[in-house]
Amino acid sequence: MNSQQSLQEDQSLPNGRDLALPWHLTLPARLESAFREQFRDNAARLIPAATILMLLVYVVAFAVEHHVAPEATEISWRPRLLAAMVTVGVLLASRHALRWLQPAVAGMALVVAGIHLYLGLSVDHPLQDAYFYVPFLAILLLGSLFRIQLYWALPTSLAILAAQAVILFGASHLSDAEALVITAFTACATVMSLFGQYFFERLQRQHFLSDRVLHLHRSELHAANRSLESQATEDGLTGAVNRRGMDVRLSNLLHNMQHQARGAPDSIAVLLFDIDYFKQYNDTYGHQAGDECLKAVAEVPKAMVQRATDFVARYGGEEFVIVLGGTRLRDALVFAERMRARIERLGIPHRNSKSNNVVTISIGVACTAEGVDSAERLIHLADEALYQAKGAGRNRVACVDDDGSVRVLTP
Residues labelled as active-site residues:
318
Could you say which DSSP state residue 83 is in? H
Asked if 148 contacts 105 with a C-beta cutoff of 8 angstroms, the reply is yes
Distance CA 13, CA 217 (A): 8
What does the radius of gyration of the chain's CA atoms come to, in whole angstroms? 40
For residue 378, give the amino acid letter: L
Asked if 116 contacts 56 with a C-beta cutoff of 8 angstroms, the reply is no
Closest CA to 312 of 326, 327, 297: 297
Asked if 325 contacts 310 with a C-beta cutoff of 8 angstroms, the reply is yes
Distance CA 195, CA 5 (A): 38
Distance CA 344, CA 273 (A): 13
Distance CA 263, CA 250 (A): 15
Half-sphere exposure of 164 (CA within 13 A, CB side): 34
Percentages helix, strand, coil for the chain (3-state, rounded to 5) are 65, 10, 25
Question: Cα-flanking dihedrals φ and ψ of residue 398, to 5°?
Answer: -130, 155
Distance CA 202, CA 257 (A): 55
